[in-house]
Structure 1
């Protein structure tokens, strides 16, 4: 039944969903700019035996198992709308947010395993329509987590700049296929840039860049810690801990961590470590650790020592030259005195 409370909830869901909606654009030849149609609609999970008021679709199924469900499309516009409806695999975009493959791009798992009761649906103004679908897990499906979604697409519209966008709204679908779960992460391509201070009484900064990859078969989140320590533990330890966003199996991201108060202690060692757990579990465990080392030369100290050593050497050279000049002066004076006191030779007969 379409009650005011249900309409308000659906409107809120629309606003939230629009934030995560995928806009797929492609360039067109320059044409007269027109404003996109002002239409508003929402998608939400159907209330049925699978749950009530669900924020999205979440299933735990065994290989070969099937589940039937539905998605509700509500049209808040003042005219009839026709939507394409399809399932698509999910992936994490550069912002580490779940996105869905665009229409026409072939899915490999959830997008293939879902069959819609209809590929297209027409919804009258102010009406809502439920579209049934069936998810069938293949008997040979690999255990682990999969992500995808059920998408409604209104088709392309001109955004006013000669570019068209595919207006889509979807609800995410999270599937866990039963079997052995293997939470695992990998770290690679660790690079470190140390920037020392020219003031010897101040430490420097360091930037650590590395690639973090979910090499297991479950969605993971956790905490990454990057730490530094000087040679033999001198100079103390500098560390930074950062939350790791949800990572789908097979996804990888380049991570950058900035550390302060890193003292240049010639040979500095560091560690990148991640503690994590499958999404939904609270108890984290160590998943991966990568040690590294780098030369952190205290250039300011060495420059100061070079100045001091140079000054000492120059002072000694000057003192040596003064001594040599004094020795030459004394020798010349002695020679002159000796010559003055020598008797003149007698004249020959």
Structure 2
């Protein structure tokens, strides 16, 4: 007797819902890849499956032992235990269960790019490299910004300095200064005239000084006078020197034509037009301080060079003027060893008055001792 004779074929074969089929079709590359690499295992004999193509006339009924579920029936039970209503499937042999996630959810994840399997997160080594590259880029940007800012600032300063230089008035020098101006010899060497340092207006020298002047005499103040380093203190020192020359020594005015302050400024004494207290036809320039004890600074030497160059350019000094120290014209320690050592190396210095040489100014009729304005000591009788 056919064991399948009492079994009725299923009314219809089972199939996937249309929505699930569409979703699977949208992600079929991954679905097909899964089957290619894993493959559906061959179902063993006596296993249960539902085939939509199986039926009473199907060839599959003759080629396998697939068990078809029974059709729905009405059963009356009473006083029974261990009752199972509905089909109960029993598997013989090994069983492999495949789980498929909701195709609609999977499709939406793929469409939105939120599929974790498609994400490629950087490794820790890659993160370190990316961080270092980012820091290098930030550093390069900061460096370029600093360079650009510095360059712009440099050009702005240069343009400002050029504008200031072009707007400076013409340099004035002498006794006919324009009101409210301070002449400048260049390199920051201002010329402070008598009115600016506070000279006594009613005093002046006895003899006019006619250009071109053939001799330049270098002196210092001495008497343990400390150098002054700013215009305020140098102006006080100038007034003190003038007061001492007029009131104590009996001179008609301050001794020298010009004074060089430790601030690098040139202070006008008797100027270009009045002879100094030492000898006519000479220009006396005094370093303000005692340079037996102290050493002059470079600002004073620079001011001396600018003043001499200005005198030659304006024809106050002879083109071939001679430069001498005070101790070459008189028995004195002025201008001190520091200054004497320096000016004796200047190109216009001459060794007159030294042993074996003629007296300074002898060729133009200057006195043997240059102290024309100083009171002469009377010889004791």
TM-score (norm 2): 0.20
Q: Specify which structure has the higher proportion of helix.
A: 2
Q: Specify which structure has the higher proportion of strand.
A: 1
TM-score (norm 1): 0.21
Larger radius of gyration: 2
